[in-house]
Amino acid sequence: MSNRIYVAIDTPDLSRALALAKRVRHHVGGIKLGLEFFCAHGAAGVREMAHLDLSVFLDLKLHDIPNTVAKAIQALGPIAPAILTVHASGGRAMLEDAKAAAPTGTKVVAVTMLTSLDATDLSDTGVTGAPHDHVLRLAELAHDAGVDGIVCSGAEVAAAKAAWPKGFFVVPGVRPADGPVGDQKRVVTPRQAIDAGASILVIGRPITQADDPDAAARAIAATL
Ligand SMILES: O=C(O)c1cc(=O)[nH]c(=O)n1[C@@H]1O[C@H](COP(=O)(O)O)[C@@H](O)[C@H]1O
């Protein structure tokens, strides 16, 4: 199977983003551009990165009323990213309209519970119960609304995949065994995430902050 690592190019600096992507390109399956990059460079920046001929995952985590999300996705249409994120907690109508508005070749994936949150954070938002149950509930909603898959942590992906065998499962919050976790709370190793059923892994700082990003990406890819 082709390389399942999407490297999160989280920087507002376009030349650094281009340089990073060029360095790691032979050891990743694609690049993920998120809010930090998009707020600085918008669609023009994404198009510039797309010239590198790597698969582009546009992670904007859209979360608004259905009409606004659908119109935003239509506005992104010319970029036609391979993958686009929305928040599952935006609800069924928002998810349905997001999928309907996306270009045919774009996978719409719904973020369930951010990997930077734990059970205490969840209860602070008024949601009772375990993260695992919350993720599975939102995964079912995403499935029923007709999107292509979900984003969840490696701790939930096996159960989510068992319930939705044809789903597309994005797992961030991935750290090599000895790496610093930073702001991530639900963390697994790349190998654990793949073994549990992840379709792709999103990996940022373990690669982008390494002294040698190319070697870091290669070392992670070798464990998969
Ligand atoms: O949708 C995402 O990609 C995402 C969802 C989530 O629950 N947690 C999460 O960390 N991410 C993204 O995955 C990347 C993780 O980066 P690192 O923690 O540096 O590996 C960041 O770009 C986050 O925006």
pLDDT in tens, 155-202: 999 999 999 999 999 999 999 988 899 999 999 999 999 999 999 999
Q: Is 114 in the pocket of ligand 1 (CB under 6 A)?
A: yes
**How far apart are the C-alpha atoms of 5 and 209, rounded to whole Å?**
16
Q: Which of 5, 138, 201, 202 to mutate to test the pocket of ligand 1 (most atoms within 8 A of CB)?
A: 202
**161 CA → ligand 1 middle, Å:** 20
Pairing assessment for the beta strands 107-111 and 168-171 based on DSSP bridges: unpaired
14 is known to lie in a ligand binding site: no
User: pTM of the entire structure?
Assistant: 0.97
Write out the H or E segment, with its range, that includes residue 8.
Answer: strand 5-8
The predicted pLDDT at position 178 comes to: 81
How distant, in Å, are the alpha carbons of 93, 143, 163, 222 from that of 87?
12, 13, 19, 32
Task: Point out the residues that are catalytic.
Answer: 59, 61, 64
Lowest mean pLDDT among 35-44, 66-75, 171-180, 190-199: 171-180
Contact (CB, 8 A) for 110 and 140: no
124 is known to lie in a ligand binding site: no
| Count, residues in the chain | 224
The predicted pLDDT at position 108 comes to: 98
Q: Is 59 in the pocket of ligand 1 (CB under 6 A)?
A: yes
Looking at domain 5-222, does it have CATH number 3.20.20.70?
A: yes
**How far apart are the C-alpha atoms of 96 and 187, rounded to whole Å?**
30
1, pLDDT greater than 80 = no
Q: Which amino acid makes up residue 67?
A: N
Give percent of the chain above pLDDT 70: 100
